[in-house]
Copies of this chain bind each other. A is one copy, B any other.
Amino acid sequence: MEKTSTLTKVQKEVFMNEAILEARKAQMLQEVPIGAIVVLDGQIIGRGHNLRETTQDATMHAEMIAIKEACQRVGSWRLEQAQLFVTLEPCPMCAGASMLARIDEIYFGAFDPKGGASGSLLNLSTDERFNHWSYVEAGVLGETCGALLTDFFRELRQRKKKLKKTSNSPELPL
């Protein structure tokens, strides 16, 4: 059974902007800037941003934090009729968590060609062999979401290059 979107273009952009706000919070912590929110009945019920380095916990992806908060908020592990907004295509863990929480609609910004599991390397979110599947829409504010990441990695490379140059400089103490 094909699932459809229940949101307008404006709603999608408003909510993706909230996920982008979350991504910026990650960026401020020097984390890879990825943000997510969970929406139910037009209300944001969960927010999260990537905290892998800060917490040194491999599972602390934006989507996981947002989904956990949403479950806590509604007092149920079932988030039927909820929407997940995330700036980057979910990885297998996050696409899997979204499936387990029965999230009905997934909107993401940029594709992740190296690790995406909602369309790029595989599509867990629409695989009908599992007991739940979702409507998936890619590219919502995709350019903004993608630019956040490319800018972050460009700056990271520049910092590393500068650091290497400084540490190789003979006139500076070790």
Contact = CB atoms under 8 A, between A and B. Distances in A.
Interface stretch (A3-11, A122-130, A147-155, A158-166): A122-130
B56 A71 contact: yes
Interface of A: 52-53, 55-61, 64, 67-68, 71-72, 75-79, 91-97, 99-102, 114-115, 117, 121-122, 124, 127, 129-131
B59 A68 contact: yes
A112 to B, nearest CB: 11
Contact of A77 (B52, B76, B95, B127): B52
A71 B127 CA distance: 31
Contact of A94 (B53, B96, B127): B96
B91 A72 contact: no
B130 A121 contact: yes
